[in-house]
């Protein structure tokens, strides 16, 4: 099994996905877009994963490789390859499917509850009715036409959607590990203000059991995406 991972910044890695892949003898092909690697998806890939990053999908002037990534993603969404988008990755999927990306009413940085939105699309059943997830985003998306809204939070209505029963877009993070979060805090400390949905570094790092829970939930999502 082979996973292709589009990485947008050095410190937002595949995180716990690496442990999942190791336990299932899967190979990860990392495409470092920030290092000007081309967004090529090998023909034998079983899954495309789009990671997060601090940039906006609209930042073409600063990150010209975003345009090439969107072209590759558009082709992939028309194929049968399963896709998982996380945070920026989810926003890229929404954008390529024709939805606008814009500032959310609140920044969400920290651990906050997410609730499942029940409706059409069996993939919503992969998520618990209510769970805690890690968040680090200031923008959000409209749910694309033809997609199914599957999760919301108090601070952000559109937290996740599914498309064509093989594409999952998650605004929140389930892959985050403690070392990954410490690096995110170090690199983006200026974003940590006193907003309503922004926690302190101490609050974000104090309970390690939270990471095990979200990483386990992501294992389930990955298994189901791949029909395991």
- 126 contacts 174 by C-beta, under 8 angstroms: no
SS3 content of the chain, % helix, strand, coil (to 5): 30, 30, 40
Round to whole Å and give the CA distance between 149 and 194. Answer: 30
222's CB contacts (< 8 A; 6+ apart) are 17, 20, 47, 84
Q: How far is CA 52 from CA 97, 121, 128, 220, in A?
A: 18, 25, 23, 20
Beta strands in 146-196 (DSSP E): 148-152, 160-163, 167-170
Identify whether 173 is a catalytic site residue.
Answer: yes
Q: What is the largest CA-CA distance in the chain?
A: 46
Which residue of the set 8, 69, 87, 148 is catalytic?
Answer: 87
CA-closest candidate to residue 4, choices 100, 101, 75, 91: 75
Which residue of the set 135, 148, 149, 173 is catalytic?
Answer: 173
| Region of residue 15 (phi > 0: left; psi between -120 and 50: alpha; otherwise: beta) | left
Identify whether 156 is a catalytic site residue.
Answer: no
| Catalytic positions | 87, 173, 175
């Amino acid at each position: 099994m082979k996973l292709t991972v589009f990485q947008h910044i050095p410190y937002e890695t595949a995180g716990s996905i690496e442990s999942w892949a190791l336990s299932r003898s899967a190979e990860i092909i990392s495409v470092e877009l920030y290092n000007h690697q081309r967004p090529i998806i090998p023909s034998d890939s079983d899954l495309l994963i789009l990671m997060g990053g601090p940039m906006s999908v609209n930042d073409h002037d600063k990150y010209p490789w975003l345009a090439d990534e969107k072209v590759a993603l558009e082709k992939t969404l028309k194929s049968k390859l399963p896709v998982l988008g996380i945070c920026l990755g989810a926003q890229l999927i929404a954008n390529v499917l024709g939805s606008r990306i814009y500032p959310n009413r609140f920044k969400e940085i920290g651990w906050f509850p997410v609730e499942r939105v029940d409706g059409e699309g069996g993939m919503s059943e992969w998520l618990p009715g209510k769970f805690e997830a890690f968040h680090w985003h200031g923008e959000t998306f409209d749910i694309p036409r033809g997609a199914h809204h599957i999760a919301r939070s108090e601070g952000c209505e559109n937290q996740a959607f599914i498309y064509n029963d093989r594409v999952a877009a998650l605004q929140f993070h389930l892959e985050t590990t403690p070392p990954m979060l410490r690096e995110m805090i170090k690199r983006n400390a200026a974003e940590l203000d006193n907003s309503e949905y922004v926690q302190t570094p101490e609050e974000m790092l104090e309970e390690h059991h939270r990471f095990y829970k979200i990483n386990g939930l992501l294992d389930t999502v990955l298994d189901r995406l791949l029909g395991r």
